[in-house]
Structure 1
Amino acid sequence: MKVINAQFFIKEDKREVFIEDTKALIAETRKEEGCLEYHLYESLEERNLFIMVEVWADDAAIEIHNQSPLLQKLFGNVADFSAKAPVLRVSDLIENA
C-alpha cells in the first residue's frame, strides 16, 4: 500500500473555493478502484494549512487517480490557491499481520 500526505498552504481569500473544489474531488476519488482512504484535514494550530491523507492499494491506482479531471483541475488551480508551495510525501505502508 501507498500513503500520500499533501500539505496545502491556502491563501485566506481562496479558502472557500479550495474547500469546495476538494469536496467534489474527495467524493469522486473515494469511488475509485484502489482508493482505500482519502481525507482532508485542517491544522488546529495553523489556519489554512490543509493536509490531504490518501491511502492507495498500489502505484497503478495512484497513476489512474492522477489522470482524474477533478485532480487535474486542483493541480491547475493550486498555484493561485497557495500562499506557498505544497509539500507532497509518498510512503510505503507496511501493515503488521
Structure 2
Amino acid sequence: MIRLNVFIQVSESNRAALLKAAKELVASSLKDGGCIAYDIFESSTRPDILMICETWADEESLAAHEKAVHFVTLVPKIQTLGTMKIEKFTF
C-alpha cells in the first residue's frame, strides 16, 4: 500500500476556495479504483495548514488517479491557492 500525506499551507484569503477544491478532489478520488482512503484534515493549532491524507492499494492505482480528470483539473487549482509538500510512504 501507498500513503501520501499532502501538507498545504494556505493564506486566510485563499482558505475557503482551497477547501472547496480539496473537498471536491476528495469526493471524486474516493471513487477511483484502488483508493483505500482519501480525506482532508484541518490543523487544530495552525489555521494556515491543511493535510490531504490518501492511501492507495498499489502504484498502478495511484498512477491512474494522477491521470484522472478530477486530479489534473483540481490539483493545479489547489497549487495556485497554496503551497504543497508531499510525503510518500510505501508499506
- The question of whether the paired residues in 1 share the 8 Å contact of 2:22 and 2:78 is answered with no
1:46 & 1:58 partners in 2: Cα distance? 32
What is the TM-score with the length of structure 2 in the denominator?
0.91
What do the CA deviations read for 1:52-81 (whole angstroms, capped 9, x no partner)? 110000000000000122222233223421
SS in 1 for 2:20: helix
What is the TM-score with the length of structure 1 in the denominator?
0.86
The residue aligned with 2:37 is 37
Tell me how far 1:47 sits from its aligned partner: 0.4
Identity of aligned residues (%): 21
1:11 & 1:73 partners in 2: Cα distance? 21
The residue aligned with 1:51 is 51
SS in 2 for 1:70: helix
Unaligned runs of 5+ in 1: none
In structure 2, what residue type is equivalent to 1:69? Answer: V
- The question of whether the paired residues in 1 share the 8 Å contact of 2:2 and 2:56 is answered with yes
- RMSD of Structure 2 on Structure 1 (CA): 1.2
- Map 1:1-97; keep pairs closer than 5 Å: 1-82=1-82, 85-93=83-91
